[in-house]
Amino acid sequence: MRKMAVVMVILAMAIPAVALDGTDAVYVGGTVAQLKLGGTGSFDFSRGAGLVFQYAGGSYEIPYERVESYEHSKEVAVHLGVAPAIAVGLIKKRKRNHFVRITFKDSDGLNQVVVFEIPGKLPQVLMPILAARAPRARCSPAMECSSLAVPNPNSSPHPNSKTAKTQ
């Protein structure tokens, strides 16, 4: 039993990690027929009207004004049993895959969704861009989204906030 646990820990550490670079992303699913599952590309943030995914066969633009919601999630790359997970966790940090899901309406008014696997540092760039350029869209999970909120100078503070005046 102990030998098996040691072998599993060694195998888990030896699994090569396929890391995405910079703004590289992989389309892992959704309803857009133009995008190929497993297709790799990169995001172009320079266009103000939409988020552009550029891939080998062309590009696909998601207009910011049509984005209804977006979400960032993380999943453990390799699932282990309890004992091997603890052992690996003591030795090195476990790799997590990052995903972003964007729901929007296409030019025909149909609901669409795209899911991309993205590099670990890209959410620090992508999520604030979506918050600023698609302010009507819902962001989740709420814990991550609260720090992305773009302040509106015309709105009054929430009654329970620290900046609200007390009577």
The answer to whether position 120 is within a domain reads yes
The answer to whether position 124 is within a domain reads yes
Q: Residue 103 sits in which domain range?
A: 23-145
The answer to whether position 158 is within a domain reads no
Q: What is the pLDDT of residues 86-130, one digit of tens each?
A: 655 556 555 778 999 999 999 999 999 999 999 988 988 899 999
* Number of domains making up the chain: 1
pLDDT band at 68 (very low <50, low <70, confident <90, very high): very high
The answer to whether position 161 is within a domain reads no
Distances (CA, A) of 122 to 7, 43, 65, 131: 34, 10, 21, 14
Query: Looking at residue 32, which CATH number applies to its domain?
Result: 2.30.29.30
Higher per-residue confidence, 25 vs 148? 25
Kind and range of the H or E run holding 77 = none
The answer to whether position 163 is within a domain reads no
The answer to whether position 6 is within a domain reads no
Cβ atoms of 115 and 30 within 8 Å: the answer is: yes
Q: What is the pLDDT of residues 24-57, one digit of tens each?
A: 899 999 999 999 999 999 999 998 899 999 999 8
Higher per-residue confidence, 160 vs 53? 53
For residue 144 the two structure tokens come to 């991550």
Q: Residue 18: what pLDDT?
A: 43
